[in-house]
Amino acid sequence: MSIHRRIVLASRPTGFPTVDNFRLEEAPVPTPGEGEVLVRNHFLSLDPYMRGRMSTGKSYAEPQPLDQVMIGGTAGEVVASRHKHYAVGDRVTAMGGWQEYSLIGGSSLAMLQKVDTRQIPLSAYLGPVGMPGITAWYGLSQIIAPKPRETVIVSAAAGAVGSVVGQLAKARGCRVIGIAGGAEKCAYVVEELGFDACIDYKGAADVRALDARLAEVAPNGIDGCFENVGGMGLDAVLGRMNPFGRIAVCGMIAGYNGEPIPITNATAILRMRLKVQGFIVFEQPDTVGWAVAELSAMLASGRLRYRETIAEGLDSAPAAFLGLLQGRNVGKQLVRLV
Amino acid sequence: MSIHRRIVLASRPTGFPTVDNFRLEEAPVPTPGEGEVLVRNHFLSLDPYMRGRMSTGKSYAEPQPLDQVMIGGTAGEVVASRHKHYAVGDRVTAMGGWQEYSLIGGSSLAMLQKVDTRQIPLSAYLGPVGMPGITAWYGLSQIIAPKPRETVIVSAAAGAVGSVVGQLAKARGCRVIGIAGGAEKCAYVVEELGFDACIDYKGAADVRALDARLAEVAPNGIDGCFENVGGMGLDAVLGRMNPFGRIAVCGMIAGYNGEPIPITNATAILRMRLKVQGFIVFEQPDTVGWAVAELSAMLASGRLRYRETIAEGLDSAPAAFLGLLQGRNVGKQLVRLV
């Protein structure tokens, strides 16, 4: 019986998580029963939503149970199958969790998906054509729904979601502004992804300083905002929104460790007749086909660019995840297992 | 030449307004020229939005100019006309301002509207079938769009807008909760308007106390919120919203004197995938016909109840307006001139 490695949640964080909240274990590689599939995971996806699952409390999802394998998206290869729709050698994505091998059966089969890696690399199914890309597509096209020449702003612009939002908005003829942390990320966002401008929030001491930068780069105001962060950046953006602006709230990473992140500039919602809408992409299955079609076509033709930050080996996952929460990655944060 | 009285904005308030911000003047009653109409005002409408106009600053409307007649809706009777569509004796509504006679011509003709007072009293065209009623209809039916058995909550529930929101929601089969200030208003809201419950915010010391009351009266959570106030009440409501809840932001009277009224519980927008949308009823002309049809039919058949708080005489308008801002009125605040 062969052995593989997996990472479980050992304890719940108070404030910012540490590597001690996780524990590396060994376990037998499972054998698929009737109707089950064994997948060898090549890549783990690390995503900000995982921080929310580490805590108890009112959220849209159940918390991650203690002492069980950390939840997470994976991409890999079928290595044993007793399910008629999957064969050894199939490339698949799944919610396989932080482990080297995943047994997929029962309800987890719903998330097991064969993917075509002839034109699109396997890891991209965890990034620009996977959950982050579909999230970007939904918030931009279904909530912000920008018209050509409108100004759209995106926070965490160098991240897996934000980078796709901006490129989709450019493809729709918008002026696109990013907000990101650090000169390197801002250069990437403008030079490689084609945004019109990018504001380094680390160079802005307070809301007033951010507001002054926004006035420079968005002289006609802001019509759409794709919000990944919350807090000071959102307050500054609210002050520059045009009438009937739309704010798609995808994340509020500024508050993921329990800090309160009030919207100080709330009266802007009324004064400017804004729509502020939170969403979770998993809940929008009807539009996934449209999203994947547009994203795949753009990616295959070179019009959708992306970067990956790759940590090597399962044991690097906790530190890589903490780095993600601190914004150390550019583009999609992955862990490579094979 | 006869003389009439009018009230102008004498100075801009710092913080809460006072009667000294207004000045009573006398002026000649104007004579209509070609294409103009002279209206004798029977009622002035007093509304919270006027507080915003008294200040300069970023808003959806131009500020009220100093030394000019205060803006405001009016209902009255045509006493002289050189416009072929209007005859002496016609009952009309207009944006006539705080004065006894109004000359309507040019662009102000767009807001001059003949009304039928055979089944509906003239003053109701400033209340349940006027701007407040249409505002209620729009926010409830077009933004909240509640389904039967959903729970809808309304702040300033005893006011001109809130009272209509709740009755429209009851007509749609909802469970309806009001928030109002004082036992008398709450009794009116439940016993006379037919709301299922009403919370007296003056009896709740903080967000936690309000939350406990909400848990009692909305045991299944809240699906729709019609927000007239903002501040602590909105924060408490946010904590009880169900997934995919809708919040129509009609007013934030808690912040009209320049106080910051942050949304502390902002992460609820993401966690519960809420839609929070500000609106101004003037900007939605397409739906006014539908609104008036439903409101008039309900009113004529006795299914839409309302109260008026009436101040007597033009000189009572400033104090009555300050009372409105302090919540002293029940239902629609009017000034009777005739």
User: How far are the Cα atoms of B130, B157, B167, B302 from residue B294, in angstroms, in the given order?
Assistant: 12, 20, 12, 12
Question: Nearest 10 degrees: CA dihedral of B220, B224, B229, B230?
Answer: 80
User: How far are the Cα atoms of A120, A169, A172, A178 from residue A194, in angstroms, in the given order?
Assistant: 21, 10, 13, 10
Compute CA B319 distance to the chain's CA centroid, rounded to the nearest angstrom.
17
Q: Which residues of A touch B60 (CB under 8 A)?
A: 243, 271-273
Q: Are B330 and B188 in contact (CB under 8 A)?
A: yes
Contact A278 B261 (CB under 8 A): no
Q: Which residues of B touch A266 (CB under 8 A)?
A: 230, 252, 255, 261-263
Does A255 contact B at CB distance below 8 Å?
yes
Closest CA to B79 of B49, B116, B42, B111: B42
C-alpha A156/C-alpha A189 separation (Å) is 10
Does B260 contact A at CB distance below 8 Å?
yes
Q: Is B111 helix (H, G, I), strand (E, B) or coil?
A: helix
pLDDT at A60: 66
Q: Which residues of B touch A251 (CB under 8 A)?
A: 270
Mean pLDDT of A244-257: 88
Q: Give the other-Cβ count within 10 Å of B211's Cβ.
A: 15
Question: What are the φ/ψ torsions at residue B42 (nearest 5 degrees)?
Answer: -90, -35
Q: Which residues of A touch B262 (CB under 8 A)?
A: 262-264, 266
User: How far are the Cα atoms of A93, B283, B288 from residue B171, in angstroms, in the given order?
Assistant: 49, 25, 19
> Which residue of chain A comes nearest to B282, CA vs CA?
A273
C-alpha B171/C-alpha A219 separation (Å) is 46
Q: Is A300 helix (H, G, I), strand (E, B) or coil?
A: helix
Domains of chain A: 3-127+307-336 (3.90.180.10), 131-282 (3.40.50.720)
Closest CA to B113 of B137, B129, B100: B129
Q: Which residues of A touch B59 (CB under 8 A)?
A: 271
| Neighbour-count burial of A326, counting CB atoms closer than 10 A to its CB (0-12 exposed, 13-18 middle, 19+ buried) | exposed
The distance of B50 to chain A (nearest Cα, Å) reads: 14
Mean pLDDT of A153-172: 97
Does A280 contact B at CB distance below 8 Å?
yes
- Give the number of A-B residue pairs with CB atoms closer than 8 Å: 87
Q: Which residues of A touch B250 (CB under 8 A)?
A: 270
pLDDT at A168: 98
**β-pair type (A197-200, A175-180):** parallel
Q: Are A148 and A169 in contact (CB under 8 A)?
A: no
Contact B263 A261 (CB under 8 A): no
The distance of B78 to chain A (nearest Cα, Å) reads: 35
Among A145-159, A278-292, B248-262, the least confident range:
B248-262
| Neighbour-count burial of B218, counting CB atoms closer than 10 A to its CB (0-12 exposed, 13-18 middle, 19+ buried) | buried
> Which residue of chain B comes nearest to A264, CA vs CA?
B262
The distance of A59 to chain B (nearest Cα, Å) reads: 5
Mean pLDDT of A289-304: 94
* Chain position carrying tokens 């009667």: B19
Among the partner-chain residues B58, B267, B276, the one whose CB lies closest to the CB of A276 is B276
Q: Are A37 and A102 in contact (CB under 8 A)?
A: no
pLDDT at A257: 72
* H or E element, residue A185: helix A183-187
Q: Could you give the count of Cα atoms lying within 13 Å of A133 in the half-sphere of its Cβ?
A: 26
Q: Which residues of B touch A229 (CB under 8 A)?
A: none
For residue A58, what pLDDT band results from cuts at 50, 70 and 90?
low
Q: Is A329 helix (H, G, I), strand (E, B) or coil?
A: coil
> Which residue of chain B comes nearest to A139, CA vs CA?
B273
Contact A270 B263 (CB under 8 A): no
Q: Please, what's the b/e burial string for B196-207 (b: 16 or more CB within 10 A of its CB; e: otherwise)?
A: bbbbbbeebeeb
Q: Is B182 helix (H, G, I), strand (E, B) or coil?
A: coil
Contact B249 A269 (CB under 8 A): yes
**β-pair type (B151-155, B175-180):** parallel
For residue A256, what pLDDT band results from cuts at 50, 70 and 90?
confident
Closest CA to A209 of A239, A186, A184: A239
Among the partner-chain residues A58, A273, A280, the one whose CB lies closest to the CB of B278 is A273
> Any idea what the Cα angle at residue B249 is, between residues A234 and A151, rounded to 5°?
40
- Give the pLDDT of chain B (338 residues) as one tens digit per residue: 699 999 999 999 988 999 999 999 999 999 999 999 999 999 999 999 899 899 987 666 789 999 999 999 999 999 999 999 999 999 999 999 999 999 999 999 999 999 999 989 999 999 999 999 999 999 999 999 999 999 999 999 999 999 999 999 999 999 999 999 999 999 999 999 999 999 999 999 899 999 999 999 999 999 999 999 999 999 999 999 999 999 999 998 877 777 778 999 899 999 999 999 999 987 888 889 999 999 999 999 999 999 999 999 999 999 999 999 998 999 999 999 99
Mean pLDDT of A222-240: 95
> Which residue of chain A comes nearest to B266, CA vs CA?
A262
Closest CA to B210 of B182, B190, B240, B188: B240
* H or E element, residue B214: helix B207-217
Mean pLDDT of A86-101: 97
The distance of A307 to chain B (nearest Cα, Å) reads: 27
Does B61 contact A at CB distance below 8 Å?
no
Mean pLDDT of A221-248: 96
Among the partner-chain residues B262, B272, B280, the one whose CB lies closest to the CB of A273 is B280
C-alpha A125/C-alpha A338 separation (Å) is 16
pLDDT at A59: 65
Closest CA to A157 of A182, A138, A174, A134: A182
Does B267 contact A at CB distance below 8 Å?
yes
pLDDT at A259: 75
* H or E element, residue B54: helix B49-54
